[in-house]
Structure 1
Amino acid sequence: MTVPLRRNRDYTLLWVGQACAEVGFSASLIAFPLLVLAVTGSAVASGVVLAADAVAQFVVGLPGGALADRWDRRRVMLACEGVQAAALASLVAVLLLDAVVLPHLVLVAVVLGACRALFEPAEDASIAAIVPDDQLATAIALNSARSSIGQLAGTALGGVLFAIARWVPFLLDLITHVIAFTALLFLRLPPRRVERAPLRGLGREVRDGIRWVARHPEIRVTTLCAVVLNLFFSAFYLIVIVLADQRGVPAGEIGIMAAMLGAGGLLGALIAPALHRALRPHIAIAAVFWALTALAPLTLLVPGGYLMGAVFAAMALFAPTANTTITTHQLLLTPDEMRGRLSGVMNVAVGAAAAIGPALGGVLAETLTARHAVVVCVIGMAVVTLFVTVNPTLRRYPGRAHQREEVQL
């Protein structure tokens, strides 16, 4: 008899530990650029620190997925949590001593970004090992809810704690990583064969992961579509903030507007398991594309930050269902020894789009009016939405019955 997910000891340990870590991460994420500005007075320096984090994630992403398949995944996660806690402890210490310097901030950002790039493939691959196939979709949806909760709570705490003292949000992040590390100490993963191959073979293993993604049409097509959608939505998000500022929306109201995106994602994650069961896979995937394309133009029409935030919340509602449908199928299709590399490829592809998107949004906002820049992004989203709607591979996207057959084979 299958144990209910809420009584799955190992999944609960992983979920609770990482929920705490998500809160701390979001708190320090908003505090980091504020800290750099306070220390250096330079917006360029703030950008360099944030870029260092993003570059580290990008560089480590693909080999990190291969290492998650090669090494003991629990030890990888433990090492990442421990190293992040040590990096944050060093940051808290220099802040208390008033001895912080820019190179140290860059180094901490690199360490944190690299550890996340290593941790995520190990966690993604582990979920399929500790959760039964018929509960995997619910587990993935709950992980989306976890991220939304962390973003909402951490973002709210980060600014408040930074106002108390510069080191406080980073102390919170340190404490939450210690909690996550402790939870992982009690995590039990099914035994698996661990490779002892030399690191010089890592490049070949990375290429094997990329070929695995490229060889499966539904993974290849959904990845391409997700990259394009993330690119234009990330640009759109920045442009709408610029548009709100031009309209004279107060900064506090803009903050609430941005937070409502996370609130919509949280609500969407809660209803994702039911929608995943009720909707055909193609409809579940296409719904988020149509929602973004149809709702984005409303930001040009509605007045005030609160109504624009409501549009943001509605746009985020169907994303967890699409993510649940896609990720569940990919994990069930992919053999265990390849799941880390699958996650690494996905994270790098989608993360690159999310990183380039704001730069695209900045260029559009500088060269066009904000309204025209929104229109450009809507056109980009509309093109990929039409492609998703008519693409034969996505229209034949495998359902749950087909996924069970693939697992049995």
Structure 2
Amino acid sequence: MDVRRPFALLWISQALSQFGTSVSSLAYPLLILELTGSAAQAGLVGAVVAVAGLVTRLPAGSLADRRPPRPLMLAADAARAILLAVLAVSVSAGLAGIGPVLVVVGLEVCAGAVFGPAEFRLLRAISAPEERAIAVGRMQSRSQLAGLLGPLAGGVLFGIAPWLPFAVDALSYAASFALVAALPRAASSVDSGAGAVPGRERKSAWRWLRRDGFLLPAALWVAALTATFSAVGLIVIVVAQDRGAGSAAIGLMSSISAAGGLAGALLTPAIQRRLRPGAVFRLAALVDTAATVALLPLQSPVLIGVAGAVAFFSAPVVAASLFGEVSVRVPDALVGRAQSSMVLVVGLLAPVTPVLAGLVLDRSGSTGGIIACATVFAVLTVVSLVLPAFRRAAADAR
């Protein structure tokens, strides 16, 4: 079976879908600000996203292991297209309120939690075993593109008409539905995988992950790296403001940094072919340490953005290396649950990172924040060198 067409359909469908999601993600808080004038209530969007993802991610992974992925993906896309279309009409008619908007946010996240592990299983099924990790890497460029273009488009569309971003998101889900429906049946007919893992292991992805010896320690390490990385994102904005940058300059700085992530995503498959995950993790932590230290003397927003681009370059490679190993190592019957569990672990520190970064900035200023983050990156570099799980994985590769 030629897998190029199914892979291309999956890539395009989710590039469109993630672009639409990125557009509406900016528009949701803007809409609530317009409706209520309250920044605190606008912040509820992030809280609803976090809670809905936490509650639904593991059950969604279990569902993905028990049902064929294509119908789940179609149902998730159809539900999200309808939700966003209704919201767009409500906003256009002046009928939207904060309660219904937050309900739509939560339901959209729940549907996405179902779609994610189902797509992961399907991607694994259409890829040759030796190409599974690389296939995961090739998917990284779509989220980077969405992150680069979506917020800009969302702000422009909201300025034209507040309902437009949600209409665009609805259309993106409809397009994704059509492309997933167009997948060849031979490529999209994946069994539920029940029975592929004997005994009690069917009931617990956590048990399997603990026994694997590499994936869970790697996920915890990546969680710490990701949390520190997101803290740097906040600190960089404060640094730029402290050094005289205006909003336009900060926007340019953010775009330069995001371009580094896109470049990293485009090169991710080539890097995966040459470096094992442990080597990727060590190199990423070392580069992040150097890029963070480099922020200390910089004054120009452009140069700060370049330093951010250097750090952002490694983010998609790290994610692809981790989840590529999930795709390669995990038994068929546990793929959905394992993927959802790993996403949950990687995001463990996300809710507290902004608070911690804010406390450090309040107490020590932007310079203290830079030094704190560089120190954490340096510690993670050392951990990546001595962690037994990473050393065993390198020995296994040899």
Is 1:142 matched up with 2:138?
yes
Inter-partner Cα distance in structure 1 for 2:132 and 2:192:
23
What residue identity is the alignment partner of 1:317? Answer: F
Letter in 2 for 1:343: Q
Residue 313 of structure 2 is matched in structure 1 by 317
> Structure 1: how far apart are the matches of 2:257 and 2:325?
26
The separation in 1 between residues aligned to 2:201 and 2:161, in whole angstroms, is: 45
Across the aligned residues of Structure 1 and Structure 2, the Cα RMSD in angstroms comes to 2.1
Within 5 A, what are the aligned runs for 1:175-214? 175-187=171-183, 188=185, 189-193=188-192, 208-214=204-210
Which residue among 41, 55, 58 is the counterpart of 1:59?
Answer: 55
Kindly provide the CA deviation profile for residues 317-349 of structure 1, in whole angstroms up to 9, marking residues without a partner as x.
Answer: 233333333322221111111010111011111
Structure 1 pair 222–401 and aligned structure 2 pair: CA distance change class (3 A): closer
The residue type paired with residue 360 of structure 1 is: L
Offset, 1:399 = 8.1
The alpha-carbon deviation at position 352 of structure 1 amounts to: 2.9
Contact 1:61-1:348 within 8 A present in 2 as well: yes
Cα gap change, 1:43/1:49 in structure 2, threshold over 3 Å: closer, same or farther?
same
Distance in 2 (CA, whole Å) between partners of 1:366 and 1:207 is: 46
Q: Is the alpha carbon distance of 1:180 and 1:248 closer, same or farther for their aligned partners in structure 2, counting shifts above 3 Å? A: same
Amino acid at match of 2:239: L
Structure 1 residue 255: Cα displacement: 1.8
Provide the TM-score with structure 1 as the length reference: 0.90
CA contact (8 A) 1:58 1:351 kept: no
Alignment of 1:80-119 (within 5 A): 80-119=76-115
Residue 362 (1) aligns with residue 358 (2): yes
Q: Sequence identity, in percent?
A: 33
Range 333-342 or range 390-399, more displaced: 390-399
Residue type at the aligned position of 1:190: S
Residue identity matched to 2:191: R
1:194 shift after superposition: 6.7
Work out whether residues 129 and 190 of structure 1, in 8 Å CA contact, stay in contact via their aligned partners in 2: no
CA 1:55 to 1:99, structure 2 compared with 1: closer, same or farther past 3 Å? same
Q: Contact conserved, 1:268 with 1:316, CA < 8 A, in 2? A: yes
**Which among 38, 42, 49 is matched to residue 45 of structure 2?**
49
| Structure 1 residue aligned with 2:220 | 224
SS at match of 2:162: coil
SS of the aligned residue for 1:368 comes to: helix
Asked whether the equivalents of residues 71 and 195 of structure 1 are also in contact (C-alpha less than 8 Å), the reply is no
| Aligned counterpart, 1:305 | 301
Flag as ranges the 4+ runs of structure 1 deviating above 3 A: 193-196, 204-207, 398-402
- Distance in 1 of aligned mates of 2:89 and 2:193: 37
Q: Is the 8 A contact 2:193 2:332 kept in 1?
A: no
Question: Which residue does 2:129 correspond to in 1?
Answer: 133
Of stretches 98-107 and 269-278 in structure 1, the one that deviates more from structure 2 is 269-278
Q: Give the letter for the 1:98 counterpart.
A: G
Return the letter of the residue paired with 1:385: T
Residue pair 1:62, 1:206 contacting (<8 A) in 2 also: no
Which of 18, 22, 25 is residue 21 of structure 2 equivalent to?
Answer: 25
Is 1:70 the equivalent of 2:66? yes
State how far apart, in whole Å, the 1-side matches of 2:384 and 2:396 are: 20
> TM-score, normalised on structure 2?
0.92
- Of 295, 320, 326, the match for 2:322: 326
User: C-alpha separation between the residues in 2 aligned to 1:255 and 1:226?
Assistant: 27
Q: What CA distance in whole angstroms lies between the structure 1 residues aligned with 2:396 and 2:8? A: 24
In the aligned structure 1, how far is the partner of 2:396 from the partner of 2:250? 41
Q: Which residue of 1 aligns with 2:169?
A: 173
User: Which residue of structure 2 aligns with residue 407 of structure 1?
Assistant: none
Equivalent residues in 2 for 1:389-404, closer than 5 Å: 389-397=385-393
Corresponding residue number in structure 1 for 2:285: 289
Gaps of 5+ in 1: 197-203, 403-409
SS in 2 for 1:99: coil
Q: Distance in 2 between matches of 1:399 and 1:137?
A: 19
Kept in 2, the 8 Å contact 1:14–1:183? The answer is yes
Aligned equivalents of 2:276, 2:72: Cα separation in 1: 36
8 Å Cα contact 1:130-1:190 kept in structure 2: no
- Give the number of equivalent residue pairs: 391
